[in-house]
Structure 1
């Protein structure tokens, strides 16, 4: 596993991989430098793999991974689809725990979470690897490489959390890659964050088994789940999973656990942008998750294996938003097209804007104790 000391130039290069403009990345570097000193970010040491949780050993030396819904049986020396968990001599080991490949200061809206502490900043963390192979992945440089191939950071967990708190970050978020893949580290880090008064958030594809999900939820304050489509064929052809239904089950489990949930769908031209598929997602959300569950509609940028496709047209996002609203959803957002009326939060009763945004930036938060200043109707979320 490669571990490097990351300087400003290297950090900017990584941020450009994520589609962050140089000027913006420069500001992010200054914020991260201010919040977390260099000795907290990079030590240049190599960490061995650790034994994974959630697996079963078999007498023939194989193991069955119990983390995600692939439930893979792995032979000795074989890695899972996530590229992070490997059968080493009959023991399932996980690489890269505690050595993330992305460490960033983000607005919480980037997760995306629009109904949680608007306008606040969080420490975003990601390790290499993902159990999906989305052909259009927007972060493929990190998600489609295992932690033995990504450029990784070492950092002091306790010092990082204490300094993040002192610099007014409100929490940590596991994002950019699949947040459950390195569940061993992320659970402990989330618990440590909450121990110093910070919040913990997760962005996940939802393809996780019940036991690890239940365990992780105990350490989390809010979750974003990406419902990528509503057809098994789409998940099989473009995502690398046999069915979308486990993702729906994950959404319902998060809701049943009483955790704040927001749903995101990246709309890819010709792939998952039909009226029928979008309507099916919206109607299912309204029926099973409740009409006040936020739905984020995200614009596709040509990446990874689908560079031949165009960027999602604005009219497609607007059509999808109308479909969501017509299905009864109260909070349907156009997340990464700005400025746009779909960036704002509107009162579910009087329809006046209660949180005004340009993209991810909060311009005005008019909520008073979570209520509309005009008609006093509550807007659901985590406001304090």
Structure 2
């Protein structure tokens, strides 16, 4: 992968997951791009670079913003429903998705004037003061600011907060062991189910994401949910949605929630139309026939498609209207009140009441 040379001396904290090559370059092993860098060069993500013969993370302690969100906005529908989560991200990304809906952050190159500065301790304290139950590493992909995210997550766990990753799952084998060790829940983007889509629209590889999904599901205690953004004419065909749903059912299990989300024109795909609601409904029907239990629609107002139903008796156990919880029929043990079937997830006796509220925060480092 082509690297970028910076004209100024790089500043940051030491990064992990890299090694020297025989030709004098160093290879970043954080993600499957394996960027190979000479002195002063940055990887494709732009935030990791080589200086003084070591890897640096240049965005440690700096954020593109902080906000208290509903946990359902991540989206996570089976993880502490109704509770507030402190969300933050940095800048840059290790994929180049032409349809990215956070492209101002993920493609940013000059962020110094825009970033809030905050230490891991300050972020955790702000989350506790705001009444958040968890911290979400999101907006851009937290894989590329692993060291910062892990330092925050470690302190958060010590203080009784949960940690949530919103990621594309494009991460190297060794790095993902450390990263997901600290994550209590994750929503991972399964952007499509063809190598061609990942190659042309994301400059990545599907197989690496599938490997991450299986790792998180079967080798960690991290609660997992998936999101697929359906883009008209790109990944919304019946055969592809069917193949994706079959793979999830067979390789991850029917209890893993799958969110089908609506695309809107953005970034380099302004000419592509928004996803019709009927496309999401059709995808939900396909996934249901594939045997998945929990399928949701996103970016549209669809109360049936946003609510949770018991796989045993089909009772609505969690009613939702956007991010508001309108009904609750779970026992304190997370079972359907009507038939006793277990509903996979992380639940408490009663849901939170945070609802649709979005509350921006400013955290200023001393």
Compute the TM-score of the two structures, normalised by the length of structure 2: 0.89
> Which residue of the partner structure matches residue 7 of structure 2?
none
The 5-angstrom pairing of residues 110-189 of structure 1 reads: 110-146=73-109, 148=111, 151-189=114-152
1:359 is matched with 322
Report the counterpart of residue 79 of structure 1 in structure 2.
Answer: 42
Structure 1 equivalent of residue 278 of structure 2: 315
1:377 alignment partner in structure 2: 341
CA distance in 1, matches of 2:38, 2:283: 44
Q: Residue 244 of structure 1 corresponds to which residue in structure 2? A: 206
**What is the CA-CA distance between 1:339 and the residue it aligns to?**
3.4
Does residue 64 of structure 2 align to residue 95 of structure 1? no
- What is residue 353 of structure 2 aligned with on the other side? none
Aligned match for 2:215, one of 224, 244, 253: 253
Q: What displacement does 1:364 show?
A: 2.3
Q: Does structure 2 conserve the Cα–Cα contact (< 8 Å) formed by 1:96 and 1:148?
A: no
Task: Decide which of 202, 212, 232 is 1:269's aligned counterpart.
Answer: 232
Decide whether aligned partners of structure 1 residues 150 and 249 sit closer, same or farther in structure 2, where only a CA change above 3 A counts: farther
State the secondary structure of the residue aligned to 2:77.
coil
Q: CA deviation at 1:109?
A: 0.7
Contact 1:325 1:332 in 2 (8 A): yes
**Within 1, Cα distance between the matches of 2:327 and 2:112?**
42
1:337 aligns with 2:304: no
Q: CA RMSD in A?
A: 1.5
The answer to whether the Cα contact below 8 Å between 1:61 and 1:89 also exists between their aligned partners in 2 is: no
Asked if 2 retains the 8 angstrom alpha-carbon contact of 1:61 and 1:76, the reply is no
Cα distance in 1 between the residues matched to 2:180 and 2:161: 15
2: CA distance between counterparts of 1:48 and 1:71?
21
CA contact (8 A) 1:142 1:150 kept: no
Q: Which residue of 2 aligns with 1:7?
A: none
| Separation in structure 2 between the aligned mates of residue 63 and residue 147 of structure 1, nearest angstrom | 25
* Residues 89 and 121 of structure 1: CA distance in aligned 2, closer, same or farther (over 3 Å): same
Determine the structure 2 residue equivalent to 1:350: 313
- How many residues are matched? 337
Alignment of 1:258-297 (within 5 A): 258-297=221-260
Contact 2:123 2:152 survives alignment (8 Å): no
Flag the structure with more relative contact order, 1 or 2, with Cα contacts below 8 A and sequence separation at least 6: 2
Give the Cα–Cα distance (whole angstroms) in 2 for the partners of residues 60 and 92 of structure 1.
16
Residue matched to 1:298: 261
- Could you tell me whether the CA contact under 8 Å between 1:136 and 1:305 is conserved in 2? yes
Residue deviations 1:32-69, cap 9 Å, x none?
A: xxxxxxxxxxxxxxx94112111012364411001001
Structure 1 Cα separation of the partners of residues 142 and 164 of structure 2: 9
Name which of structure 1's ranges 144-153 and 195-204 shifts more when overlaid on structure 2: 144-153
Deviation track 1:243-286 (CA, whole Å, cap 9, x = no partner) reads: 20110110000012232110110011111111111111100000
**Matches of 1:221 and 1:291 in 2, distance apart?**
20
- SS of the residue corresponding to residue 216 of structure 1 reads helix
User: Where does 1:21-40 land on structure 2 (aligned, <5 Å)?
Assistant: none
Which runs of structure 1 show a deviation greater than 3 angstroms over 4 or more consecutive aligned residues? 58-61, 146-150
Q: Does 1:106 align with 2:69?
A: yes
Distance 2:236 2:122 in 1: 45
Unaligned runs of 5+ in 2: 1-9, 349-366
Query: Normalized against structure 1, the TM-score is what?
Result: 0.85
Shift of 1:162: 2.7
Once the two structures are overlaid, the 10-residue window that deviates more, 295-304 or 253-262, is 253-262
8 Å CA contact 1:136, 1:304 repeated in 2: yes
User: Structure 1 regions of 5+ residues with no counterpart?
Assistant: 1-46
Query: SS of the counterpart of 1:305?
Result: coil
**84-93 or 329-338: which moved more?**
84-93
Q: What's the secondary structure of 2:41's corresponding residue?
A: coil
- In 2, distance between residues paired with 1:217 and 1:69? 16
2:4 aligned partner: none
